Amino acid sequence: MSTKMGIWRGALACAAIVLAVETASARVIDPTGVTTNESSAVVLYPVLKADPADGVDTLVQLTNTSVFLTKVHCFYTNTNSHCSNSPTTICTDQDFRQVCPLGGLCIPGWIETDFRLTLTKRQPLSWSINEGLSALPLADQPGMGNPPQFNEGNIPPVAEVPFTGELLCVQVDVTTELPTDRNDLKGEATIVESPASNIEGVDARKYNAIGIKAIEGRQDPNPQVLNVGGPEAEYGVFSEATDPPRFVGCPNILTLNHFFDGAEVITHQGLSSDVFSTLVLVPCANDYLTQTANGAPAVVQFLVYNEFEQRFSTSTSVQCYRETPLSDIDTRPGPQGNDFSIFSVGVQGTITGTSRLRSVAGPNVDGYDANGILAILTEQWNSTNGIFTASANVQFQGSREQGDRITIPLP
């Protein structure tokens, strides 16, 4: 065999092996850098509610899953909108014509309040956002560890009620209070409605906080900015499915199974309930330092499939926080026109659907367009016995090429 022939045969065999391996790798799942299944360095509670007048409050649970003392820097974001001509009046896109003085507009708000606390070895904490937690359980007495650990800090109540907003907690170093690469936090939120002299009883819904995992050893010298995915990723996961393999952050697509608005679901061989859904969308990026909310709004594209495999699409935008009934995504805010929405059962003709949400990528300047989004779905079931709600975590698919940045104030 000549030298040339041998090299060619070797190259051919090599190509066959490469092809085989490449075919296999083409079917690898594209992971996302966020999770509700594992403990993480950043936990995001996208929906918090408090309204004493209606007996509504949120119970937040936060746990340190590690055996080490852990410090947490948390940020409440008050996303209440207020009337332009009555700054103390809280309004929404749906009701501002009724609640604001004549001529007033509803101005979206985004006010951040932060606090710090320590969590001892595997310590769970829970608190009501309306009351806060002025004294942590191990503030004055030591824990069981050796050396004994104490809680430091406290948790303030939310600054305004009624309150609608989110909570984000970042794990930081106990001494320097700078973001750390440990993934020790897990959390849940339970929204309970228990109004006085109620006739319908109590209602509760619960979801897991969304975790963003820190990448070990990737913390850069600028601890003020947390890079989620992107070229300088400090948070997220390594994806083998991208070309080339790289660190990725927030999901490219959110997938949610939902009932179409107004769907009549018959259970118990005769009990009828009409189901309506509300979607909360929040950006992955936040700037808590300059108190600006994510710059330009992110455009979110929806693909909606019904049970006939028929596909529809629509879009909306999210700037700092968006809570919207599904039917208001493509119709005017409020009940007007909802029957004509593509999220209406009357339009779709089937009870359930699947929606795929993709945030449109912005211009790639430095690899961070801050257009990633996360979401929570809430269903409202209206039956003859009352109105009840349930929350569900939305699922993720794929990874975005560009990343998102969370900017926090340093001590």
Partner 1 sequence: MSKALGMRCVWSLCGVLVSALAFASMTRAEVSTDVSGSVLVFTKVVWDGPGPLDGGLTDRDTVIQIANTSNNMVHAHCFYVNGAPDFFGNPLWQVTDFSIWLSKQQPTHWVASAGRPVNPSDAFGSGGAGIDPGLIPPVPPGFTGELKCIQVDASGTPFGGNNLKGEAVIVSRSGDVSKHNAVAILANPDLAGDDPANELLLNNTPDNDGEYNSCPNELYLNHFVDGTPDPVTQQFNADDCTDDQCPIRTYLTLVPCSEDFENQIPAEVTVQFEIINELEQVFSTSTTVECWKDTRLADIDAPTGACTLNGAACTTDEQCIDALQGFCNKNSSFAVGVLGTGSAFSIISPVDLDGGVIGVAEEYHYLDDGSVARAAWNLQQTGNRFDATEELPGGPVVDTISIPDRF
Residues 116-155: x/- map of binding to partner 1 (CB under 8 A)?
A: ----xxxxxxx-x-xx-----xx--x-xxx---x------
Q: Does 313 bind partner 1 (CB under 8 A)?
A: no
* Sign for the pseudo-dihedral over CA of 75, 76, 79, 84: negative
Residues 6+ apart with CB under 8 A from 269: none
Nearer to partner 1, 86 or 385 (CB): 385
One DSSP character per residue, 105-169 reads -EE---EEEEEEEEE-TT-EEEEETTTBBSS-TTSSS--SSSS-----B-BPPPSSSSEEEEEEE
Q: Does 404 bind partner 1 (CB under 8 A)?
A: no
User: Nearest approach, Cβ of 205 to partner 1 (angstroms)?
Assistant: 5
d(CA 72, CA 66): 13
Q: Does 94 bind partner 1 (CB under 8 A)?
A: no
User: Nearest approach, Cβ of 267 to partner 1 (angstroms)?
Assistant: 4
Q: Does 354 bind partner 1 (CB under 8 A)?
A: yes
Q: Does 37 bind partner 1 (CB under 8 A)?
A: yes
Residues that bind partner 1 (rule: CB under 8 A) add up to a total of 116
Select the residue interacting with partner 1 from 85, 134, 292, 308 (CB under 8 A).
Answer: 308
Nearer to partner 1, 13 or 159 (CB): 13
CA distances for 404 relative to 33, 227, 251, 363, angstroms: 11, 6, 11, 13
Residues 6+ apart with CB under 8 A from 228: 33, 212, 234, 235, 236, 249, 250, 284, 285, 372, 403, 404, 405, 406
Structure tokens at 275: 């189901």
Rounded to 10 degrees, the C-alpha dihedral 378/257/38/70 comes to: -20
Q: Does 410 bind partner 1 (CB under 8 A)?
A: no
Measured at the CA of 360, the angle between CA 356 and CA 361, to 5 degrees, comes to 135
User: Nearest approach, Cβ of 39 to partner 1 (angstroms)?
Assistant: 7
Q: Does 85 bind partner 1 (CB under 8 A)?
A: no
| Residues 4-23 interacting with partner 1 (rule: CB under 8 A) | 6-7, 10-11, 13-14, 17-18, 21-22
Nearer to partner 1, 52 or 409 (CB): 52
Q: Does 351 bind partner 1 (CB under 8 A)?
A: yes
| Residues 228-267 interacting with partner 1 (rule: CB under 8 A) | 237, 240-241, 245, 255, 257, 263-267
One DSSP character per residue, 241-253 reads SSSS-EEE-SEEE
Tell me which stretch binds partner 1 (CB under 8 A): 85-93, 155-163, 168-176, 352-360. 352-360
Q: Does 115 bind partner 1 (CB under 8 A)?
A: no
Residues 360-379: x/- map of binding to partner 1 (CB under 8 A)?
A: -------------------x
User: Nearest approach, Cβ of 83 to partner 1 (angstroms)?
Assistant: 26
| DSSP code of residue 101 | P
Nearer to partner 1, 248 or 406 (CB): 248
| Residues 153-182 interacting with partner 1 (rule: CB under 8 A) | none
Burial environment of residue 248 by CB neighbours within 10 A (0 to 12, 13 to 18, 19 or more) = buried
Structure tokens at 89: 């009046």
φ/ψ of residue 8, rounded to 5: -65, -45
* Other CB atoms within 10 A of residue 15 CB: 10
Overall size of the chain counted in residues? 411
Nearer to partner 1, 131 or 366 (CB): 131
Q: Does 395 bind partner 1 (CB under 8 A)?
A: yes
